[in-house]
Structure 1
Amino acid sequence: MSYGLYDYDRRRRRRFWVRAAKFLFALAILGGLATFSYLVGVEQLKAREIALQEEIATLTAAKEQAERRAAQLQQIAQTAEIKASELEVRFQREVPTGELARLQELLAQKLAEGVDANRLAFIISQTGTVRNCTHPETKRFVLPTPLYRGANTSVTFANGAVTIGGEGASARNANGDAEAWFDPRQPVTLKFTQIDGDVSEATGMLPIQHSVVIGDKEYRFNIVESSARSFVEISGDTCAFP
């Protein structure tokens, strides 16, 4: 009987240690897995931290570069604004406006036509002197149109020194048909023929001012619409030139 009890106790202890060994082995495996997972997690966190630091460094560098570029652009804009203000002041100072611009345009036109610059300068220098002019003379004539080119379509001034004619656009009736007389609401063209054959023209809306220089005389004309239909009225005088 004692042999049987001993054998039973021994088997019981063996089963205990086997279970204990299995338990400890399972704990070791779980501990190993936990440690491995912890180490992997730590490495991932370190890698993530490094990546975030690199991203922060990149964003910081981009921000600094953008700030430098913004400062440069602001400086460029300020410089451009200053230059624009300088150009505006220079433009206002150097580019003529109003009557001065009109005179400059007229001078450029005369120079392009071949008028001597010294002559123009002399004329301008003499503008302050009192001019010797004749009493104005007024005449009128029928302004020709595409439908009328009959009699009384020109006049002469200064004993035939200048002959004035021209043409206008035909007026229209209520039906839109062209009439023989000119339309004063449309531009007209006036021709000034000198006694030597030279011809100059003036085109525009009435009234029109025009002058012709022949030798030492200037013939000045002012052309307006006449109260009589089809006619234009011209006032002209003769002045010493220059």
Structure 2
Amino acid sequence: MSYGLYDHQRRYRRRFWVRLGKAGLWLGVLGVVAGFSYLVGVEQLKSREGSMQEELAAAIAAREKAERRAQQVQQIAQSHEIRANELEIRLQREIPSGDLAKLNELMARKLAEGVNPDRMAFVIEQTSNPQSCGQSETKRFVLPTPIYRGANTSVAFADGAITVTGEGVPARNMGGNPEAWYDPAKPVNIQFTDAAGKATQASGVLPLEHSLITADKEIRLTVAVGARSFVEVTGQVCRFP
């Protein structure tokens, strides 16, 4: 009997220690797995942190690059604006305007017509405001219309060097019918013909001013409204140049 009890206790202790050993083994395995998982997690966190640091550095670099590019673009825009302002000032300074533009256009036309540039330069050089002019002379003539083309429809100045004539728009009566005389409120066309037969014209509402050069004379003419049917032409002959 005592032997059997002893054997039973020994088997019980053996099972206890076997179970305890298995439990310890499982705990060891779990500890190893947990430790490995911890190490893997730490490495992943480090790797993720490294990636985030790299992304942050890349973002900062991209932002700084964009800021530098924006500054460059702003500097380029300012340079272009300054250049545009300089060109505008230069354009205003170099391209003639007003009276100078008119003279430039006139000289270009005369050169195209074959006028000697040396002659033009001489004339301009000799031209000045003080001039020797004769007394003004006023003459009148009946301004022709499509209805009237009778006598006394022209006048001459400078001993016949310039002949002035023209045409107007017929006036209308209360009934709307055209009259023989011209309407002074409407534009007229005045023609100036020199002794060689060359004609120039001036058009518009009276009064009109016109100047012609013939030989060594400048003939200044002003055409204004006169009595009904008539226009008055005031001419003055000046030495030229």
Identify the TM-score tier after normalising by the shorter chain: 0.7 to 0.9
Q: How much does 1:241 deviate?
A: 2.7
Matches within 5 A, 1:179-190: 181-182=182-183, 184=185, 188-190=188-190
CA contact (8 A) 1:224 1:234 kept: yes
Q: Structure 2-normalised TM-score?
A: 0.74
Gaps of 5+ in 1: none
Query: Identity of aligned pairs, percent?
Result: 47
Does 2:100 align with 1:100? yes
In structure 2, distance between residues paired with 1:170 and 1:13: 146
Q: Which residue of 2 aligns with 1:131?
A: 132
Matches within 5 A, 1:1-242: 1-124=1-124, 125-142=126-143, 144=145, 148=147, 150-151=149-150, 154-158=153-157, 160-167=160-167, 181-182=182-183, 184=185, 188-226=188-226, 228=228, 232-242=231-241
CA contact (8 A) 2:155 2:163 kept: yes
Give 3-state SS (helix, strand or coil) of 2:101's partner: helix
Q: Structure 1 residues 31-40 or 3-12, which shifts more?
A: 3-12
> Which letter does structure 2 place at the counterpart of 1:52?
M
CA contact (8 A) 1:162 1:194 kept: yes
> Which letter does structure 1 place at the counterpart of 2:221?
F
| Aligned residue pair count | 237
In structure 2, distance between residues paired with 1:34 and 1:205: 109
Q: How much does 1:143 deviate?
A: 5.4
CA contact (8 A) 1:153 1:165 kept: no
CA contact (8 A) 1:142 1:231 kept: yes
CA contact (8 A) 1:143 1:232 kept: no
In structure 2, distance between residues paired with 1:172 and 1:17: 141
Q: 1:82 to 1:96 in 2, by over 3 A?
A: same
Q: How much does 1:85 deviate?
A: 4.5
In structure 2, distance between residues paired with 1:101 and 1:24: 110
Q: How much does 1:129 deviate?
A: 3.5
